[in-house]
Amino acid sequence: MTIYVPSFLRPLSQTRTGNESGVDRKAESVDVIKSTECDLIEFQQRDTVQLWVNEQAHRGRTKVTSDKQIRVDKPVSHPERHWWIVSQGLLESIDPPLREHADLFDLLISLNLCTDDPVFFSQSPGQVVGGAYEDERGALNYRDDLSIGNIATALFGMNEIPETVEITGDVRSAYDDVRKYRSKRIETDEEMDMRVALHMYDDALTSDLWTAAANFYYVCENVLTSGRGADKDAVLNRC
């Protein structure tokens, strides 16, 4: 049985100035995601998802009088950034068996550990909050209509997201390590640092604030890799 995992592709912008609105839309420039080291997963984009729903409920009636179900097409949110992670054997054969939310979230962590491209997979479509202002009542209101600021910054951020994203790491190995490590007993300071770093990944992957997501991601990348040029998989394996 093929398993489809919904995810949103979000950017790790080079600029990270905090005043650029619509930054999450930069990930729309990605046309292809491919895995060079793991043939057990592939990535697809579709505008709709098929769901089985109660026929009466689908017609808008409040009282359900029939158990008959029909298949309907439901549009996905943000289709340009919505990607299906299609498992062709990876999730179907894991031990212990698939535990849904926790294991699917660990898969996103593993994919982010296995790519060096300036994007990350998230369960959240994201929301850019560029700043805030105080109204006449003293309350804070958010604004997301801020521009990038100047032509130099705009040029710096052009074409920073590639059209093809490559998953170059060993996804199966990283996934096994992340699953095992997140449930193991912590006994050393290094293991605690790793656990904190993985929790920071959680924050980055679920954050709706672009600057928080980017900064969290880069900080925990440094912890996970123990410095520049380190092998992330090797660090996980030591734990």
Neighbours of 46 (CB within 10 A): 14
Which tokens go with 210?
């672009």
Residue by residue, pLDDT tens for the chain (239 residues) are: 788 888 999 988 767 666 666 778 889 999 999 998 888 899 999 887 766 555 554 454 444 444 555 566 778 888 999 999 998 888 888 877 777 677 888 899 899 889 989 899 988 887 655 555 566 676 666 555 556 566 777 777 778 899 999 999 899 998 988 888 777 788 888 788 777 777 777 777 777 777 677 777 777 766 666 544 455 555 545 54
pLDDT of amino acid 66: 46
Q: What is the largest CA-CA distance in the chain?
A: 62
d(CA 216, CA 1): 35
pTM over 0.85: no
d(CA 206, CA 221): 16
State the DSSP code for 236. H
Query: What does DSSP say about strands 82-87 and 3-11: parallel, antiparallel, or unpaired?
Result: antiparallel
